[in-house]
Amino acid sequence: MSTSRANNRKKKRHKVLLILMSVVFVLLIASLAFGYNLYSQIKSTAGEMHEENGWKGKGNQKEKIASKKPISILLMGVDERENDKGRSDSLVVITLNPNKQSMFMFNIPRDTRTLMVGKGTQDKINHSYAFGGSKMTVETVENFLDVPLDYYIKVNMEALSEIVDAVGGITVNNKNDWYDDRYYKKGYHYKKGEITLNGPQSLGYVRMRYQDKRGDFGRQERQRQVINAIIDKGARASSLTKFNDVLNVLGKHVKTNMTFSEMKDIQKNYSGARKTSNSFEIKGSGQKINGIYFYVVPPEEKARITTTLKEHLDL
pLDDT per residue over 8-58, tens digit each? 433 333 333 333 333 334 333 333 333 445 667 777 878 888 888 778 777
What's the whole-model pTM score?
0.77
Expressed as residue numbers, the domain containing 264 is 3-312
Phi, psi of 120, rounded to the nearest 5 degrees: 80, 15
SS3 of residue 99 by DSSP: coil
Helices (H), the chain: 3-13, 36-49, 61-66, 128-145, 159-166, 199-207, 216-235, 243-253, 260-270, 299-312
Domain with residue 118: its CATH number is 3.40.630.190
CA gap 102, 182 in Å, rounded: 37
Of 66, 47, 7, give the one whose Cα is nearest residue 258.
Answer: 47
- In the predicted model, what is the mean pLDDT of residues 93-119? 93
Q: Is the pLDDT of residue 262 over 60?
A: yes
* Average pLDDT value for the chain: 79
pLDDT tens across 16-26, in order? 333 333 333 43
| pLDDT at residue 48 in the model | 84
**What confidence category does residue 80 fall into, taking pLDDT thresholds of 50, 70 and 90?**
low
**What confidence category does residue 270 fall into, taking pLDDT thresholds of 50, 70 and 90?**
confident
Cα Rg of the chain, angstroms: 19
Q: Which residues pair with 296 in a beta bridge?
A: 285
Q: How many domains does the chain have?
A: 1
How far is the CA of 191 from the CAs of 18, 180, 188, 229, in angstroms? 32, 11, 9, 17
- In the predicted model, what is the mean pLDDT of residues 299-311? 96
SS3 of residue 194 by DSSP: strand
Residues 15 and 31: beta-carbon distance below 8 Å? yes
Phi, psi of 217, rounded to the nearest 5 degrees: -65, -35
268 or 27, greater pLDDT: 268
Q: Is the pLDDT of residue 102 over 80?
A: yes
| pLDDT at residue 87 in the model | 66
Q: Which residues pair with 187 in a beta bridge?
A: none
